[in-house]
């Protein structure tokens, strides 16, 4: 499995053409306490960089952008009852949705962990 990051602080783990997407620990820290997560509809088609979800916190509502083009295969049902999972496990159990990639070549434009960490360090 490979993990990639966007400059908008989303992460994607890719395995067998399916990407699991969430926001980074850095992003959830900037947002503060998450109060609600608006998840996309299963079957929804999205383009790379398109707004697909909204994370609401005590500070603000923030759009989540899809790191790749594809079709939503699943959403994280646990977030409906426990949106705070995004705070406690942003890069694990607080994942938002899974997407079937339509063009795996789009991953080439994303950052790996060392590049993302350097990016965050420059902010």
CB-hemisphere CA count at 13 Å for 106? 19
Q: What is the pTM of this model?
A: 0.96
pLDDT of residue 95: 98
CB-hemisphere CA count at 13 Å for 93? 10
What domains appear along the chain, each with residue ranges and CATH number? Answer: 2-102 (2.40.50.100)
Q: 57-82, pLDDT tens digit by residue? A: 999 999 999 999 999 999 999 999 99
Q: 80-97, pLDDT tens digit by residue? A: 999 999 999 999 999 999
Length of the chain: 123
């Amino acid at each position: 499995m490979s993990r990639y990051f966007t400059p908008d602080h989303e992460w994607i783990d890719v395995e067998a053409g399916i990407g699991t997407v969430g926001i980074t620990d850095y992003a959830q820290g900037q947002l503060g306490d998450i109060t609600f997560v608006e998840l996309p509809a299963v079957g929804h088609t999205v383009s790379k960089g398109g707004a697909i979800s909204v994370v609401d916190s005590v500070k603000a509502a923030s759009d989540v952008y899809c790191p790749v083009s594809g079709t939503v295969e699943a959403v994280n049902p646990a977030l409906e009852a426990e949106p705070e999972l995004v705070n406690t496990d942003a890069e694990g159990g607080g994942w938002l949705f899974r997407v079937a990639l339509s063009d795996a070549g789009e991953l080439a434009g994303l950052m790996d962990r060392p590049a993302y960490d350097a990016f965050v360090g420059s902010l």
